[in-house]
Amino acid sequence: MADRLARAVRRLLPMLGPVVLAALLLALAPRAWAVEPMPLVGQADYLVDAGGRLSPEQARKAGDWRRLGPRQEFAAAPAAVWLRFTLPSALGPRVVLDLPRTVVSEATLFQPLEGGGWSRLEAGDRILPSLWPISAPELAFPVRALAGAQPTEVLLRLRHADPFLPRPLLWPEEGYDTHRAIEHLWIGLFLGVALMAVAYASGEALFRGDAVSAWYAWHVVLMAVFQLVQMGYARVYLGGHEAGATQAARLVSGTLLASVSLLFVRRALPQAISGLRASTWALAVAVFGVTLTAAYVLWPQLSQEPRVLTAQHGYYALVIFSVGLLLWTVRGLRLPYMRWYVGAFAAAAVGVATQIAYAQGWLPADSPARYAMLAGVAAEIAVLTYALNFSAREVLSDPGLKREGARRDRRSGLLHAAELPSLLMAMAVRALRLNTKGSVVLLRLANLDDLRRAHGPGLSEAVAKACGRVMREACNPGDLPLRLDDDRYAVLVEQVHSRGEAHAVAERILELGLRHHPELPPLEQLHWHAAIAHLPRHLKGDPKTVVERLDQLLGQIRRGSAALVRELP
């Protein structure tokens, strides 16, 4: 009882970190919900400054101010955009102006002074984060109302390189601090999930030599980097020293993530299963992405080109198409935990789609949708790690463990034919993921009809028992013998070092078949024919096609032939 309790505690220990973070989130969430920000969409006015030379007084006196709409997008052509709003007294004298997910080169806040004139606060991609008025991943400015009964009018000038939708929010100072603390906890929870996934995948790659886990570890690392860059935390903690560096970092992390993710899926579905064309296409798309990444690194000014975002989004669409093509080529295959993989990608896709809707202004700026991509990616990483872990237990574990709990044939005592598809798929995936070799030996009892004619159909059960005993005696401890039907049997020989090992198993079965069998009438023998295939050498698409090809090869062997054991060419 104590041992079971200790094992249960050890299993629960890795969950303590997420549980503690979740408890903190639940504790702080009511405080964050108690104070809601005030959206300025529909409350603020905007002015397009085509020349970018207006002073605050000139902008204030201009006559073409318009009301800021819910999806008011500004292109990259105007030199500057001014926003004007009045501080509401309900929020108190100390307020924070928050610009969520707004990408601008420079943002300047102008506040009126008591004796006249304007104070000036600057932030943005061209300004070092250490010089920002508030240390935050997104643009945020402290705003204070003037003393007296007069309303305080504030101006904000934005200079930008990319199209954007300004959706400013006004927070009470304490509410903004709580909101930022909640965000830090979400980031911590996400990084905790990512760290556990990387630790697991790295261990599988190092100790088992699993190439799929190695690519998955890179996928998780780059996904975490991409999220931190997109949310602005990489800029805050690493800083930026030149114009365009932040945008270049976004493009580099996004392109490299897309390329590595495609290579991860390609390695999980190698060409032996997905086909040569789909695998080659995916490799070409990934190489193009790596080349594009190198171009961003060597020429950061490329990120400032007007159509670079369109090209970037086109590459993302190309990667999604390539992943879909790889998945389409393996439709119908019983890959281990395939539904979990599809569910993981679906969770990430939902998060990305929600994030796009948020960025396009279809969802409120203060809604939880701002964390949709983070939540979707965290769910993807958790589900993928779960699937990889349990598929590794099923696919990469000791072949002898597959006997436990497997369905068995009643007559022969061997594994049932229904187990062949999953065992064959696991064997193929193992050979592809660990670069190991395996063999399939398909056997046919050539004289079954002769035995039935000589002793009646009732002998079939005795023949099955004799065949089961012969198969067990001839096989090694790690081999998996199966009874497929009355006259067909199979042996899965895993982790072979040479093609001769499978031939040795087949020869032993043929030799033992010619000896005395206590289950059969005197002088009766078992005459076998054998056909051999090697994985992954003879693997092309669905592993079940290997058995079909072996069946055809067995049909070519005639009784009395000099070669009763043959191998696929």
In a domain, 20, yes or no: no
In a domain, 77, yes or no: yes
In a domain, 22, yes or no: no
Regions of the chain where pLDDT drops below 50: 1-17, 20-21, 23-24, 27-28, 31-32
pLDDT digits (tens, 9 = 90+) for 196-225: 999 989 988 888 788 888 999 999 999 999
Please count the structural domains in the chain. 3
User: Is 236 within 8 Å of 129 (Cβ atoms)?
Assistant: yes
Q: What's 35's DSSP letter?
A: S
In a domain, 5, yes or no: no
Give the pLDDT confidence score for residue 7 in this predicted structure: 47
Give the pLDDT confidence score for residue 68 in this predicted structure: 92
- Which helix (H) or strand (E) segment is 213 a member of? helix 211-231
- As a whole number of angstroms, the distance between CA 145 and CA 156 comes to 15
Q: Do 122 and 184 sit in the same domain of this protein?
A: no
Structure token digits, residue 115: 């004796």
In a domain, 49, yes or no: yes
Residue 224 identity = A
Give the pLDDT confidence score for residue 5 in this predicted structure: 46
User: Is 44 within 8 Å of 85 (Cβ atoms)?
Assistant: yes
Q: Do 244 and 326 sit in the same domain of this protein?
A: yes
282: domain CATH number is 1.20.1070
- Residue ending a domain, choose from 394, 415, 439: 394
Using the structure block, give the residue that is written with the tokens 């060597």.
298
131: domain CATH number is 2.60.40.2380
Give the pLDDT confidence score for residue 1 in this predicted structure: 47
Using the structure block, give the residue that is written with the tokens 């990319």.
162
In a domain, 13, yes or no: no
Q: What's 19's DSSP letter?
A: H
504: domain CATH number is 3.30.70.270
Q: Do 230 and 128 sit in the same domain of this protein?
A: no
- As a whole number of angstroms, the distance between CA 290 and CA 57 comes to 49
Q: Do 186 and 140 sit in the same domain of this protein?
A: no
Q: Do 157 and 248 sit in the same domain of this protein?
A: no
Give the pLDDT confidence score for residue 449 in this predicted structure: 85
Q: Do 245 and 325 sit in the same domain of this protein?
A: yes
- As a whole number of angstroms, the distance between CA 506 and CA 440 comes to 10
Q: Do 424 and 288 sit in the same domain of this protein?
A: no
Give the pLDDT confidence score for residue 142 in this predicted structure: 93
User: Is 464 within 8 Å of 472 (Cβ atoms)?
Assistant: no
Task: Name the residue range of residue 121's domain.
Answer: 38-175
In 327-445 the beta strands, taken as DSSP E runs, fall at 415-416, 438-445
* 104 Ramachandran zone, left/alpha/beta (phi>0; psi -120 to 50): beta
- As a whole number of angstroms, the distance between CA 116 and CA 97 comes to 22
Q: Do 388 and 475 sit in the same domain of this protein?
A: no
Q: Do 185 and 136 sit in the same domain of this protein?
A: no
- The CB density around residue 5, as the number of other CB atoms within 10 Å, is 9
Q: Please, what's the b/e burial string for 295-313 (b: 16 or more CB within 10 A of its CB; e: otherwise)?
A: ebeeebebbbeeebbeebe
Q: Do 368 and 268 sit in the same domain of this protein?
A: yes
- Residue ending a domain, choose from 143, 175, 207: 175
Q: Do 296 and 367 sit in the same domain of this protein?
A: yes
In a domain, 10, yes or no: no
- Residue ending a domain, choose from 175, 202, 232: 175
Model pTM score: 0.75
Structure token digits, residue 451: 């035995």
Q: Please, what's the b/e burial string for 471-501 (b: 16 or more CB within 10 A of its CB; e: otherwise)?
A: beebbeebbbbbbbeebbbbbbbbbbeeeeb
Q: Do 247 and 335 sit in the same domain of this protein?
A: yes
In a domain, 55, yes or no: yes
Give the pLDDT confidence score for residue 536 in this predicted structure: 79
